[in-house]
């Protein structure tokens, strides 16, 4: 470990096996001669092992071992945390599985989230924080963004009053856990809601209602380290994610006040990457919709020519050295 | 990681209603069927190799594009948010 130079320090890419976006970044790093160790934490323990010691050293001494690579924990340059699968022990009974998964999550997960000298893109715990929509809205308000009026409630009268006051509004789930119908995963599409649809079942759990923004287009801003890539998306859809074939993409420049607010937002959560969604109004206002700490971005590179893969590779290659 | 640490549930027996939001639950929009049958990691490049049903190498599914599709078959490009992933919150956090 003593004679390792910075250039030998690997980038960890933590994601599932079917992740073309990660592949683009890995190819770029490979071309630059930056060592990469890729694994899916969900492969633990069948195809991933880990040992980490502390007490007589400043930080962890040990490694993670994949079938093809080994990374010294004290020498990880950076981590690209994408979309690893969950821990699973389906062959164990329920209680044994719960025990095994909890040890894996708090043990392996705990080690991978506490590597000294590692730049996280993004840190998994910070991703976890930023995935809470209420926390995101509160941070967005504090950062100075313009926000659509939003109500999170389990009080039917309040929901009804909100919907009457704001006219066109939408319902959004606060989170979409696994929900299977006939073995098929379900979601809650973002759709409009009116006051007369509300009844006492709103008491059953928390619900998020939001005034529908009268928009002329959407804007996706991908912030990668110090770089900002803003793209206007024209689709004519309420939620542009529902049909990509309708999109046209135009690179734009974020107004200075929006840029400042995005920086403040990312600083608040400790993120170095963020995919911001805005609704662009007729008068040119950028209304904050949400920021996804793990948003997709690679599909926008070919139609816009924006060098996002290179920007991500720059970030991961530089690690904490250039920051 | 649990962002709202709690102890074991202590149900008091009060009946509460099935949430309103569940009325809106619906299948994901039809997914483009991936034209690969198997994936494996290339040990030299650390990128993924895709194979079709006959075992022949095939193209990767693309630029992490199509979102809002059924994430059960994989993840990448299917669901723009982490929370779209079936095993995100519940799958992961129920192991507390």
CA pair distance A163, A185, nearest whole angstrom:
29
| Residues A113 and A35 grouped into a single domain | yes
Classify residue A54: in a domain, yes or no.
yes
A13 contacts on B by Cβ (under 8 Å): 46
Classify residue A234: in a domain, yes or no.
yes
For position A3, what pLDDT does the model report?
A: 61
For position B63, what pLDDT does the model report?
A: 64
For position A5, what pLDDT does the model report?
A: 83
Tell me, what CATH number does A298's domain have? 3.30.470.20
| Residues A95 and A20 grouped into a single domain | yes
For position B94, what pLDDT does the model report?
A: 29
For position B59, what pLDDT does the model report?
A: 82
In a 13 Å sphere around the CA of A114, the CA atoms on its Cβ side amount to 15
State the average pLDDT for chain B.
69
For position B79, what pLDDT does the model report?
A: 37
Q: For chain B, first and last CA: distance in Å?
A: 9
- B70 touching chain A per CB within 8 A: yes
ipTM of this predicted complex? 0.86
- Model confidence at A44, in pLDDT bands (50, 70, 90)? very high
CA pair distance A153, A158, nearest whole angstrom:
7
Classify residue A175: in a domain, yes or no.
yes
Percent of residues, chain B, with pLDDT higher than 90: 31
Q: Which of residues 50-69 of B touch A (CB under 8 A)?
A: 60-68
Per DSSP, the residues of A86-124 read PP--TTS-HHHHHHHHHHIIIIIHHHHT--TT-EEET-H
Classify residue A155: in a domain, yes or no.
yes
pLDDT digits (tens, 9 = 90+) for B43-64: 999 999 999 999 999 888 776 5
- Write the CB contacts of A223 (distance below 8 Å, at least 6 apart in sequence): A229, A262, A266, A273, A274, A275, A276
| Residues A177 and A218 grouped into a single domain | no
| Residues A15 and A82 grouped into a single domain | yes
In a 13 Å sphere around the CA of A199, the CA atoms on its Cβ side amount to 8
Neighbours of A195 (CB within 10 A): 15
Across A13-22, A98-107, A200-209, B28-37, least confident range = B28-37
Classify residue A137: in a domain, yes or no.
no
pTM for this structure?
0.90
Nearest to A296 among B64, B83, B90 (CB): B64
- Write the CB contacts of A45 (distance below 8 Å, at least 6 apart in sequence): A104
Q: Is the pLDDT of residue A322 over 80?
A: no
pLDDT digits (tens, 9 = 90+) for A203-224: 999 999 999 999 999 999 999 9
pLDDT digits (tens, 9 = 90+) for A124-148: 999 999 999 999 999 999 999 999 9
| Residues A205 and A225 grouped into a single domain | no
Which residues on neighbouring strands pair with residue A291, listed in sequence order?
A276
For position B60, what pLDDT does the model report?
A: 80
pLDDT digits (tens, 9 = 90+) for A271-321: 999 999 999 999 999 999 999 999 999 999 999 999 999 999 999 999 998
| Residues A20 and A113 grouped into a single domain | yes
Would you call A18 and B88 a contact, using CB atoms and an 8 Å cutoff?
no
The number of distinct structural domains making up chain A is 3
Nearest to B20 among A20, A176, A202 (CB): A202
Q: Is the pLDDT of residue A100 over 70?
A: yes
- A56 touching chain B per CB within 8 A: no
Would you call A292 and B82 a contact, using CB atoms and an 8 Å cutoff?
yes
| Residues A203 and A232 grouped into a single domain | no
| Residues A181 and A237 grouped into a single domain | no
> What average pLDDT does range A222-246 have in this prediction?
90
Q: Give the domain ranges of chain B.
A: 32-56
Inter-CA distances, A239 with A284, B67, B68, B72, B76, Å: 19, 11, 10, 21, 19
Residue A306 — φ and ψ, nearest 5°? -70, 130
A244 contacts on B by Cβ (under 8 Å): 65-67
For position B1, what pLDDT does the model report?
A: 52
Classify residue A320: in a domain, yes or no.
no
Alpha carbon A238 to its chain centroid, in Å, reads 21
Domain range for residue A185? 149-211
Q: Is the pLDDT of residue B73 over 70?
A: no
Q: Is the peptide bond before A121 cis (omega within 30 degrees of 0)?
A: no
Contacts of range A127-131, beta carbons closer than 8 Å, 24 or more positions apart = A127/A81, A127/A271, A127/A293, A127/A294, A127/B82, A128/B1, A128/B3, A129/A269, A129/A270, A129/B3, A130/A269, A130/A271, A130/A274, A130/A291, A130/A293, A131/A175, A131/A293, A131/B3, A131/B81, A131/B82, A131/B83
| Residues A234 and A163 grouped into a single domain | no
Classify residue A144: in a domain, yes or no.
no
- B14 touching chain A per CB within 8 A: no
| Residues A172 and A253 grouped into a single domain | no
């Amino acid at each position: 470990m003593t004679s390792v130079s910075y250039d030998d320090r690997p980038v960890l890419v933590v994601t599932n096996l079917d992740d073309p976006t990660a592949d683009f970044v890995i190819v770029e790093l490979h071309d630059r001669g930056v060592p990469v160790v890729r694994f899916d934490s969900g492969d633990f323990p069948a195809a991933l092992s880990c040992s980490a010691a502390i007490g007589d050293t400043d930080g962890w001494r040990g490694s993670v071992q994949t079938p093809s690579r080994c990374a010294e924990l004290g020498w990880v340059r950076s981590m690209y945390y994408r979309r690893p699968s969950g821990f699973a022990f389906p062959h164990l009974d329920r209680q044994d599985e719960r025990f095994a998964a909890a040890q894996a999550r708090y043990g392996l997960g705990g080690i991978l989230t506490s590597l000294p000298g590692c730049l996280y893109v993004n840190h998994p715990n910070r991703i976890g924080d930023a995935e809470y929509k209420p926390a995101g809205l509160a941070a967005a308000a504090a950062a100075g963004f313009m926000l659509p009026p939003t109500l999170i409630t389990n009080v039917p009268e309040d929901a009804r009053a909100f919907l009457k006051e704001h006219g066109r509004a939408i319902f959004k789930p606060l989170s979409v856990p696994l929900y299977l119908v006939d073995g098929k995963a379900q979601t809650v599409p973002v759709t409009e809601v009116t006051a007369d649809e509300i009844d006492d079942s709103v008491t059953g759990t928390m619900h998020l209602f939001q005034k529908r923004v009268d928009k002329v287009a959407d804007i996706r801003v991908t912030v990668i380290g110090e770089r900002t890539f803003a793209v206007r998306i024209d689709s004519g859809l309420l939620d542009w994610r529902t049909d990509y074939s309708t999109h046209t993409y135009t690179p734009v420049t974020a107004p200075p006040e929006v840029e400042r607010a995005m920086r403040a937002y990312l600083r608040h959560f400790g993120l170095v990457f963020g995919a911001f969604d805005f609704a662009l109004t007729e008068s040119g206002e950028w209304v904050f919709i949400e920021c996804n700490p793990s948003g997709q971005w690679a599909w926008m590179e070919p139609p816009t020519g924006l060098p996002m893969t290179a920007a991500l590779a720059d970030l991961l290659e530089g690690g904490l050295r250039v920051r | 990681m649990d962002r709202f640490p709690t102890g074991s549930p202590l149900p008091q027996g009060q009946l509460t209603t099935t949430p309103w939001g569940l009325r809106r639950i619906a299948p994901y929009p039809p997914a483009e069927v991936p034209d690969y049958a198997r994936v494996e990691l290339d040990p030299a490049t650390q990128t993924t190799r895709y194979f079709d049903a006959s075992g022949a190498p095939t193209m990767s599914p693309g630029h992490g594009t199509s979102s809002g599709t059924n994430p059960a078959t994989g993840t990448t490009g299917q669901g723009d948010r982490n929370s779209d992933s079936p095993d995100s919150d519940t799958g992961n956090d129920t192991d507390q």
